[in-house]
Chains A and B, each alone.
Chain A
């Protein structure tokens, strides 16, 4: 569907952002120039030095495989890395380049290469992340000539948090790691600082997969199929001690951990957050939090944040807009997770177009919006306070902060308190919707699938 101000990018971009977040993995784009430029700068560790065949008209006419062969060979000479992953984009898919044959040929020459087809017209960046994570787990062992022994021992693979798409991905994974450590469990974060090829090779030895968004389900299913690893499929990211504790309970059940130990760990998480909140309440910081709130973002963040805001802080969550277009069969569970904490009157919509979201927010008239830079203008127009917590970001860059677990929940609360202190009168006078906009609103409403 055409989208006014699309925010979800394309498959190649999501895949490239994932690969760049794994140490020792070198993505090699097989695409025209420009495919990786200017996307996913939110919290991504971009070096802007991505190898690419930068296809030209000549290769479109005569085929791009020989250019790919040359680029693979030379990337191996220039870039330091353990594994080279060819990501093919729209152009080679349209012209029918036989990329698997090139990858096979390189592998026969003992280059550690694997290939993933991620043409942008086949899906958005989240789906590209999912496809690349799955393909990396499936193909990595075979692409490495000598079976590298994984030097990593981990109990739980963390799947579904997407580098560059979830803006606080790295901090969030570290927070979830800390939550699991309360039970003495070792997390395999797979992406970010210190996470490399060895961690992906170690994934099949884990005892459990933890799925933190719809975009980790494919990788978890593959690990289950091949290695019979069981799965806790939460589908969203726990924010605050209640949900972090609920996660520990699910993980504890799956791994047969003593219920008393789980209860003790949950109590420690609750105590930590309670101490912070009591302190804040004592300073009068929580007196005026109970706003009518709308949360806009990807499945993981938007569901987790609305559950924390409604279920722990007592905000009145009236509208949640999930923007990453999760598969239809997963939507009911996401909506149910929101309503479990926010009550049955909370509206949950699945929309990605900025304009359709704006119309929905105007109808909900919240006093606080937690969303992306695309929602800031709407927040101003409505006189609502605004917290930026979804991509794309503009106000406050992310370098390491988290919005997950207990530490991330405290950060989110700090941002919320700061936002509520700002004068929230409309700065830009809102343009009155035109007749056309009203007609479009009706059309958009009919397109939106509301769970």
Chain B
């Protein structure tokens, strides 16, 4: 492990100085970053958002061969209701919350094993279990011996970090610690594509792109398979796709398993994809092929750009994880569109470089840092207006309510040449007929008070008192 003796991963706030609350301009935030650290702020009014637990469950459920036991009250497993992975919840009650629920945990592990015969089981801890300091480790050790499969404790707690993506690091820490014993191996020819949140389709597209330059790639941890884990540790190289959301895995594989880590800005947009492809090509001795493949794809976006000509200058609000949001600005520019504002769940050290570049070009660009804080977005969107809102995964109705069409990237790949093309085509459709947004926008605002909508967007973002 990167911190092999630690029980679990450090929180994002500590690991990369990440912040989860800010409301202002890109330039002002960069000035803070320039002085060393981003200032930790809190919200004195907040809306519910995912915690590390939901992020961890989402990621773990994408790993093939792994079953999940959520150790906590039944509601903590709600994020799994749409998952195809085998899972169980210990459903601890009030008595267990006082006296401990390890009996239920052991029973759930045995039942899940009997019913589904998984290759390994992750035990995911929850806030109640964390506060009561339930001995998950001992139960896991006992069942590991009894069932003969790896039992992986995942120490999520819902309360340590303001940043839900801490859950990604906690998962990576647990998987590498328990499923990837450190021993010398012979290196393979393949590389690892590291991601925590990309869609399977997005990852498949990048694997296909790398295949064009003759490089085979495994994915880890998102959409990975337990059966592939041995090979993850023998890769010739790991390539991070998501900044802060993939560099914990990259650094751990480098420091503890000797797999070199190449942390590149993600392949978003045509130019961004070419830079990425060429960099991966040169690092793997496939530089020439990469240059040739890039040249083949260079003109690909041309048709999309032409289709978007009638909408040139349309103003787009981007609400995506920082690793994708920052390069998305460049993709929009390639398409002749303008970025109206950025909304990101968190910003950390991995984003400093991109933040600096953006601050140089557009210092006044409004920037909101915060996950699921729609009340601030409504305030901002009413102020600045926009022609399109780009987000990912539900929760964009607040934009539609304001009459702004929404592009949800949940089911549309974003990365690579194909991603750029697909996004462009989807934008054309959204802008060609915004009837739905127009209809929904004609309704009255019922959720927020008039006084809040008149206030400064940053009203409830305050410096943290220590």
Contacts and interface: CB of A to CB of B under 8 A. Distances in A.
Contacts of A56: 159-160, 162
Contacts of A35: 48, 75
23 contacts: A2-B89, A3-B74, A3-B88, A9-B78, A10-B76, A34-B54, A34-B158, A37-B78, A49-B374, A49-B398, A50-B48, A51-B46, A54-B46, A55-B159, A56-B159, A77-B449, A78-B452, A90-B127, A90-B128, A94-B97, A94-B131, A119-B94, A437-B115
B47 interface: yes
Contact of B79 (A10, A38, A78): A38
Contacts of B159: 32, 55-57, 60, 91
Contacts of A91: 127-128, 131, 158-159
A1 B108 CA distance: 9
A355 B111 contact: yes
Contacts of A47: 374, 397-398, 447
Contacts of B397: 47-48
A47 to B, nearest CB: 6
Interface residues of B, number: 66
Nearest to B397: A47
A119 B127 CA distance: 12
Contact of A57 (B93, B113, B160): B160
B118 to A, nearest CB: 12
B299 interface: no
Given A29-B48, A37-B50, A70-B44, A4 B111 contact: yes
A120 interface: yes
A186 B200 CA distance: 52
A2 B88 contact: yes
Nearest to B97: A121
A48 B75 contact: no
Interface in A370-426: 373, 392, 394
B53 interface: yes
Contact of A94 (B128, B374, B398): B128
A48 B394 contact: yes
A94 B452 CA distance: 33
A7 interface: yes
Interface in A37-59: 37-40, 47-57
A434 to B, nearest CB: 6
Nearest to A78: B452
A71 interface: yes
Nearest to A443: B111
B132 interface: yes
Given A13-B78, A60-B131, A32 B158 contact: yes
B87 A5 contact: yes
The residue among A4, A51, A75, A355 with the most chain B CB atoms within 10 A of its own CB is A4
A1 B88 CA distance: 11
B311 interface: no
Contacts of B79: 37-39
Contacts of A55: 159
A122 B447 contact: no
